[in-house]
Amino acid sequence: MNRFAAPIAEQIWDMKYRLRGADGRPLDGSVEDSWRRVARDLASVETDPAAWEPRFYAALEDFRFLPAGRIMAGAGTGRAVTLFNCFVMGTIPDSMGGIFDALKEAALTMQQGGGIGYDFSTIRPRGAEVKGVAADASGPLSFMDVWDAMCRTIMSAGSRRGAMMATMRCDHPDIESFIEAKQDAARLRMFNLSVLVTDAFMAARDADADWPLVFGGQVYRTIRARELWDRIMRATYDYAEPGVIFIDRINQMNNLGYAEEIAATNPCGEQPLPPYGACLLGSINLARLIRDPFGPEAGMDLDALDELVATAVRMMDNVVDASRFPLPQQAAEARAKRRIGLGVTGLADALMMVGLRYGAQGAADATRLWMHRIARAAYLASVDLAREKGAFPLFDAERYLASGFMQKMDADVREAVRAHGIRNALLTSVAPTGTISLYAGNVSSGIEPVFAHSYTRKVLQKDGTRTEEEVVDYAAQLWRERMGDAPFPDWFVDAQVLDPLDHVAMQAAAQEWVDSSISKTINCPVDISFEAFKDVYLAAWDQGCKGCTTYRPNEVTGSVLSVDKPAPAPAAPELLAEPMDRPVALDGATYKLKFPGSEHAIYITVNDIEEAGRRRPFEVFINSKNMEHYAWTVALTRMISAVFRRGGDVGFVVEELKAVFDPRGGAWIEGRYVPSILAAIGGVIERHMIAIGFLAGEGAAPKSDPVAGAAVVAGPSCPACGVPGMRMIEGCLTCPSCGHSRCG
């Protein structure tokens, strides 16, 4: 029996999690083999592996517990890989030697596929004196550019991931430059940015007081706190960055506040971590634990939830011992505290199955109840592990129980911790689950709402053609199976209709019982007023969130989160029955394209013709000294020119070329990722069409016709598969067609 609920689920498993040999031959014959491989590896650290392997397998079976992708892909392979997802690197010293030592550590970590976070507040501001060399400091932003270049280089060398988080304190003298850094579309593309906002700053904002910008005890200047807050808000309103992290709240609630100071998070924000901290992730699939979905007895199977959580905690604790680490400092940090991040996915689907509307009070109450149950079960399971295997090495009962999070924990759980200790210092987190949610049958991702109940996906076939298939949300598919053609009830909402404050309410409800943090994107409509937008952040602060990340469509990152019906196309020039004869002379332009990794440049000439008062492309010539390019450049020249000479709205050629990806990897050109040489050629032709007025702007060329009546998902093209429609989910651009995400 096929375990997969949708074709896309099986394709994700085959591409990302199925074990293959060095020759590419599959070694996992089925998903059951993958589950067995992971279960056996995680059980191997037990004193009685044979007793635990079947229990671990049962947790994985039918996608109920979803370890993070690195565990699914790496456990039991015998390969020297880390099973941890993301890292916060060591504190950056304020010295040239220390800075470049830190850069080297980052490169080694990223080379193994880890996303990294850094606090750049420790680097002296631009213009500060550098004693002993008679020079002024270049400031943290200049070194962030170096990190960004390193990350691009690591990615171009074949690394699967390249996400980084940069944080800066709200009182650093360069904070205004940090806030504005990504308004340049070509700068710091490998970074997510977040401002570390303190309680003192929020109090100063409320009082409209002055705010000093300080480094090393020296006040560089003073600004109005409310003015700085509005600059942060305006930047994220217009450019979707930076995010905001309420850093004092994080440190006050941290169970390990007595042993560490947190100043950064991993790239998507769900794991605030100390220097050299590492995050280990996995998710409970809530959609698989609903009894009688859509029926009169619909509800969460709380006993099954307790049992699954306990098993998942044990599996994740074993990962700490089974994993390798890029740096010895990371291994020492992980084993001293045994931090894990157990989260959830499928929340929105689970709510729909029990008749609750995402964002409504009832849904928030149910979320709070389920997350409390998960936290309670996780902490009790970790206490049981401490009885059996010992508490984490840095455990100090009185100081641990004095943390903000443990003070609100149930009395019996607190007493159990006091009496027996606890195996894992922190246990819960809600991480990005875009890929594993597709693998689990397209359940809703993390605690995010359903993006769309269905959409059309273009699938690249082996012969280079594309076919279309419908991808249906897990709960929506279940409704179809049980209710036939009955229309969706009114609680079947999606991301397109939700108010931003609905998102905040759900994030706050989940955060109450999450001891780390939550990866969540609050999607805002493009027409939201600036004042209403600022209210979203104040609501997140007031309701106890540890941070806030919004996404409003903008010119730099594009209109990512939109599902629109196709607009009527403007009348296109009529396609000619016969190609036009070539005039003796044509106007045109020649462009030089130097693709990284290619020995010789490619020269692209586009000649134009006047037609009905409109200039349009008539022919293309593509030339290169590289003889390996000869055959395909000649073929491309003839084919494109033949299309152009037929007339009509030939801009679609641009989109077809830009969608071509090279499985060996693309390259970064002028601050953006280009998936192949052919895509780069398409970009050159597109720029020419814009220059002559044939296209209104970048991305304006017509796409392939959508299926009649289907939604068109607008958004950037995926760098892995070339299909347009990437979405901002949980703080990271994610492709719905192939599951590609810089967040893993």
Tell me: pLDDT of 579 over 70: no
Please give the pLDDT value at position 626.
79
Question: Residues of the chain with pLDDT > 90: what percent?
Answer: 63
CB 517 within 8 A of CB 270: yes
Q: Average pLDDT, stretch 384-388?
A: 98
Q: Average pLDDT, stretch 95-103?
A: 94
Please give the pLDDT value at position 31.
97
* Stretch among 205-214, 584-593, 625-634, 682-691 having the lowest mean pLDDT: 625-634
CB 113 within 8 A of CB 70: yes
CB 382 within 8 A of CB 424: yes
Q: Average pLDDT, stretch 551-578?
A: 52
Neighbours of 485 (CB within 10 A): 5
Looking at per-residue confidence, does 700 or 486 come out higher?
A: 486
Tell me: pLDDT of 473 over 60: yes
In 391-513, where does DSSP find H-type helix? Answer: 397-401, 404-407, 411-420, 434-439, 474-483, 500-511
* Stretch among 63-77, 104-118, 218-232, 328-342 having the lowest mean pLDDT: 104-118
Please give the pLDDT value at position 614.
75
Look up residue 584 and give its DSSP letter: S
3-class state of residue 39 by DSSP: helix
Tell me: pLDDT of 581 over 80: no
CB 371 within 8 A of CB 514: yes
What's the pLDDT tens digit per position in 10-24? 989 998 999 999 888
Question: Of how many residues is the chain composed?
Answer: 744
Q: What is the mean pLDDT of the chain?
A: 88
pTM: 0.81
Looking at per-residue confidence, does 161 or 114 come out higher?
A: 114
Please give the pLDDT value at position 677.
87
Q: Average pLDDT, stretch 539-565?
A: 74
Question: Residues of the chain with pLDDT > 70: what percent?
Answer: 87
Please give the pLDDT value at position 663.
57
What's the pLDDT tens digit per position in 514-530? 999 999 999 898 899 99
Q: State how far the Cα of 447 lies from the Cα of 450, in Å rounded to an integer.
A: 9
What's the pLDDT tens digit per position in 605-657? 999 988 766 788 989 999 888 777 788 888 888 888 888 887 777 888 888 88
Please give the pLDDT value at position 101.
96
Please give the pLDDT value at position 365.
98
Q: Average pLDDT, stretch 119-142?
A: 91
CB 459 within 8 A of CB 413: no
Looking at per-residue confidence, does 279 or 540 come out higher?
A: 540
Tell me: pLDDT of 711 over 50: no
Break the chain down into helix, strand, coil percent, rounded to 5.
Answer: 40, 20, 40
Please give the pLDDT value at position 371.
98
Tell me: pLDDT of 559 over 90: no
What's the pLDDT tens digit per position in 248-285? 999 999 999 999 999 999 999 999 999 999 989 999 99
Q: Considering only CA atoms, give the Rg of the chain.
A: 27
The answer regarding whether domain 93-264 maps to CATH 3.40.50.2000 reads no
Q: Average pLDDT, stretch 692-713?
A: 56
Tell me: pLDDT of 588 over 80: yes
Residue of 560, 547, 71 lying closest to 268 (CA atoms): 547
CA angle 290-296-302, nearest 5°? Answer: 30
Looking from the CA of 225 toward its CB, the CA atoms found within 13 Å total 18
Please give the pLDDT value at position 115.
85
Confidence grade of residue 561 (pLDDT, cut at 50, 70, 90): very low
- DSSP sequence for 295-364: STT-EE-HHHHHHHHHHHHHHHHHHHHH---SSHHHHHHHHHH---EEEEE-HHHHHHHTT--TTSHHHH
Confidence grade of residue 719 (pLDDT, cut at 50, 70, 90): low
HEC per residue, 362-419: HHHHHHHHHHHHHHHHHHHHHHHHHHHHCCCCCCCHHHHHCCHHHHCCCHHHHHHHHH
Look up residue 123 and give its DSSP letter: S
Confidence grade of residue 560 (pLDDT, cut at 50, 70, 90): very low
* Stretch among 437-441, 633-637, 698-702 having the lowest mean pLDDT: 698-702
Residue of 409, 266, 324 lying closest to 731 (CA atoms): 266
| Active centre residues (catalytic) | 266, 268, 270
HEC per residue, 62-116: HHCEEECHHHHHHCCCCCCCCCCCEEECCCCCCCHHHHHHHHHHHHHHHHCCCEE
Please give the pLDDT value at position 567.
41
Q: Average pLDDT, stretch 102-107?
A: 94
Tell me: pLDDT of 556 over 70: no
What's the pLDDT tens digit per position in 44-98? 999 999 999 999 999 999 999 999 999 999 999 998 889 998 899 999 999 999 9
Say if strands 454-460 and 466-472 run parallel, antiparallel, or are unpaired: antiparallel
Tell me: pLDDT of 482 over 70: yes
Please give the pLDDT value at position 664.
63
Tell me: pLDDT of 558 over 70: no
Tell me: pLDDT of 574 over 60: no
Q: Which part of the chain has CATH 3.20.70.20?
A: 93-264
